[in-house]
């Protein structure tokens, strides 16, 4: 998930909040890899249940009840545009996740949707190294998303 996270960082994962509410767009989550639950991944949620996610021409577009014609996500935290061509309608309890290092990320563009039951929790704090300590907040995607 570079540049947001780097190898050898220690993070604290909130495993309680999602028992009280659903994951939100922009949350960075730890989850069991859908193709092999022995592995854990860390990615950012961009698509929520019931939405259609389109990756086309370097942009991620969300179609939902609020934006039936679609709205492109403003992802200022990315160093590059989003590659690939995907159109996915998310079902109940399905999420679309992308890594922040899009050119090198294994994410929903390649292996599909993330079922809710595989989400372990939300990344809350980068704890170590101490000089990189920070809390993790979801970005603003603009247009009320």
- The string of pLDDT tens digits covering residues 37-86 is 999 999 999 999 999 999 999 999 999 999 999 999 998 888 888 999 99
Supply the pLDDT for residue 12.
79
Bridge partners for 29 per DSSP: 43, 122
Supply the pLDDT for residue 80.
87
Q: State the pLDDT confidence band at 2, using cuts at 50, 70 and 90.
A: very low
Supply the pLDDT for residue 4.
59
Tokens of 42: 């860390």
Domains and CATH numbers, the chain: 10-48+92-135 (2.10.109.10)
Name the one residue in this structure whose structure tokens are 């609020």.
66
- CA 105, distance to chain mean position in Å, is 11
Bridge partners for 81 per DSSP: none
Name the one residue in this structure whose structure tokens are 């039951």.
117
């Amino acid at each position: 998930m570079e540049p947001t996270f780097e190898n050898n960082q220690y993070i604290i994962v909130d495993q309680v909040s999602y028992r009280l509410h659903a994951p939100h767009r922009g949350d960075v989550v730890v989850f069991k890899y859908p193709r092999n639950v022995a592995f854990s991944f860390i990615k950012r949620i961009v698509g929520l249940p019931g939405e259609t996610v389109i990756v086309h021409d370097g942009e991620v577009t969300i179609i939902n009840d609020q934006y039936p014609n679609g709205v492109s996500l403003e992802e200022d935290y990315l160093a590059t545009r989003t590659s690939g061509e995907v159109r996915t309608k998310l079902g109940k309890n399905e999420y679309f996740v992308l890594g922040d290092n899009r050119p090198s990320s294994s994410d929903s563009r390649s292996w599909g949707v993330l079922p809710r039951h595989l989400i372990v929790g939300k990344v809350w704090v980068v704890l170590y190294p101490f000089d990189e300590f920070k809390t993790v907040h979801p970005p603003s995607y603009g247009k009320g998303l």
